[in-house]
Chains A and B, each alone.
Chain A
């Protein structure tokens, strides 16, 4: 079952004395239940608008949006109890303590105070829970936002840039928490992030957004495979001889750190046969993997 479905959604912001801004341009998005789904896109690509439309904060001009199988915003009141969200900066009342801010939300949803304490402990804020929110560091505010998103023990957890303002230890903790939640089978994490490494490390699947459209989606390894570089790295006892053989066969070869990097390889087995025929036996042959950053840049730059 899909926890998020967006079909052909459009949204244009009309602005005073400025041209309209098209934020979503026929967006299709499908997030399957379970695991961690990354949501990538450059600034202005429509990520936050998508999340806001799903949570009922902005109204899409057209298209169909579904959360946990129910159309939104119409059925949002019925499904919101299963959705936890942290969108951009955490929004809490500044003169209330962290604990009071959570308790007020908990009362709204009928969540117990025990759960409030559990969530505070989960994000390591129990010792500062009585401090006023406005006195919190950016990282503490972010952690409180994550605690609020977790209060409902949601089936779908929407996190928009959850690592903002966190120190390295905090980032590590949040990533571990996301991995753990995604792995427990009861929560699907929808993670919007500009940190490609974060998505690559944490997510099982990814959707890449550019100019209001989804330009790639699927398991992270498949998205990367789709952007295969066609490069291999190889080592042999006689690098100069091997290079001469390969260049003689028409390959572009570059020596790199005691190895050779060969471009334009569609069938690595062909290299093995070619070199062995000339008496060069390989010590290493490995594909040069595309990283998500390369794939992301390539995909988002290509979009018209």
Chain B
């Protein structure tokens, strides 16, 4: 009665593809992405010749005004220890403003928006995969079909590792698809509602690196959802734990123990998908002979820091869940 090779992996891929709730979640996310893109489209507009001339006129007036204020400022005595440049600011040309900043409806500038929004897309997709990861294994526990599967493949670590592998593969695919969709959507917005803009050197290299790290974030988020649901054997409980962590624990840490902020998952996620990592400004209180002094310390969380913290956290939770699953008596 055997006409094909036994394959737990093939069966689990089939099972994943057949899960209705997962399909609904992915379709809803896709719908949300399209709606978001349409809404974004309404916030930008390609400049008309008249609009451009109007913006250039307003920019010139603003420049004149600012230069006037600056010249007056330069005539005033400067505070000790400060240069005129520090007190009165740079000349208008160097202030970094462009003509698009003076338009009533700004154009979509691909070079400015695409990299940052890629991180946002990664964060949204990560939230989706956290949910998918939790429901993927949580529903197996709730229905006890996990136990039934052990009548067919009793090597528990193989079972859980296969389910995790299927999830991580799907997470990577979904994460990459989301980034590809965003790239296409951003190009479409640039073509219809703005411009590509002048692309700085190495732009696509930087963008693709952000997107690749975004895919890693999505994969880690899936693993975290999976690990939590496998530990508590229930999707709802896993999502509840996630909510408590992100909504309560992280905010409590920010208020009560700001020194711990570099360890928070959301900070490390932001560090991972930001172009130059994440800068944290931590208030530090020192007491000297004259009373309390508060100073601000800047900490930079690099991509590597963010990635290592996230991957290690997920790996520890997955490993603990796996070991418990291998040893537990199952009813």
Contacts and interface: CB of A to CB of B under 8 A. Distances in A.
Contacts of A52: 329-331
Nearest to A133: B143
A13 B149 CA distance: 23
Interface in B1-45: 1-8, 10-11, 14-15, 18-21
A57 B330 contact: yes
Contacts of B147: 57, 91
Nearest to B144: A91
Contact of B151 (A59, A80, A101): A80
Most chain B CB atoms below 10 A, which of A77, A83, A110: A110
A177 interface: no
Interface string A71-106: 001001100100111010011111110001101110
A55 interface: yes
A111 B10 CA distance: 13
Contacts of A112: 1-4
Contact of B152 (A80, A94, A114): A80
Contacts of B21: 95
Contact of B150 (A55, A103, A109, A111): A55
Contacts of B20: 95
B26 to A, nearest CB: 16
B297 interface: no
Nearest to B21: A95
A93 B3 contact: no
Interface in B253-303: none
Contacts of B145: 91-93, 101
A77 B150 CA distance: 10
Contacts of B209: none
Contact of B143 (A87, A92, A105): A92
Contact of B10 (A76, A84, A107): A107
B177 to A, nearest CB: 24
A56 B154 contact: yes
A56 B4 contact: no
Contact of A85 (B1, B151, B329): B151
Contacts of A225: none
A140 to B, nearest CB: 16
Contacts of A103: 14
Contacts of B1: 111-112, 114-115, 152-153
A93 B14 contact: no
B154 A110 contact: no
Contacts of B10: 107
Contacts of A96: 18
A52 B331 CA distance: 8
A108 interface: yes
A115 B2 CA distance: 9
A58 interface: yes
B2 A107 contact: no
A109 B152 contact: yes
Interface in B133-180: 139-140, 143-145, 147-155
Nearest to B13: A107
Interface residues of B, number: 34
Nearest to A106: B11
A108 B329 contact: no
A199 to B, nearest CB: 23
B150 A108 contact: no
B215 to A, nearest CB: 28
Contacts of A13: 329
B8 A110 contact: no
Contacts of A56: 150, 154
A287 to B, nearest CB: 44
B18 A111 contact: no
A56 to B, nearest CB: 5
Contacts of A58: 329-330
A125 to B, nearest CB: 17
A108 B154 contact: no
A84 B21 CA distance: 30
A165 B154 CA distance: 28
Given A56-B150, A111-B1, A77 B8 contact: no
B3 A114 contact: yes
A294 B11 CA distance: 48
B152 A91 contact: no
A110 B150 contact: no
- Name the residue among B2, B148, B155 with the largest chain A CB count within 10 angstroms: B148
Contacts of B151: 55, 80, 83-85, 87
A77 B155 contact: yes
B120 to A, nearest CB: 32
A107 B155 CA distance: 16
A94 B20 CA distance: 11
Contact of A91 (B3, B15, B19, B148): B148
B2 A110 contact: yes
Given A55-B150, A112-B3, 10 more contacts: A77-B153, A84-B151, A87-B151, A90-B148, A91-B143, A107-B7, A108-B8, A109-B6, A152-B1, A153-B1
Interface of B: 1-8, 10-11, 14-15, 18-21, 139-140, 143-145, 147-155, 327, 329-331
Interface of A: 13, 52, 55-59, 73, 76-77, 80, 83-85, 87, 90-96, 100-101, 103-105, 107-112, 114-115, 148, 152-153
30 contacts: A52-B331, A55-B150, A56-B150, A57-B147, A57-B150, A58-B329, A77-B153, A80-B151, A83-B151, A91-B145, A91-B148, A92-B148, A93-B140, A94-B143, A95-B20, A100-B18, A104-B14, A104-B18, A107-B4, A107-B6, A107-B7, A107-B10, A108-B149, A109-B2, A110-B3, A110-B6, A112-B1, A112-B2, A115-B1, A152-B1
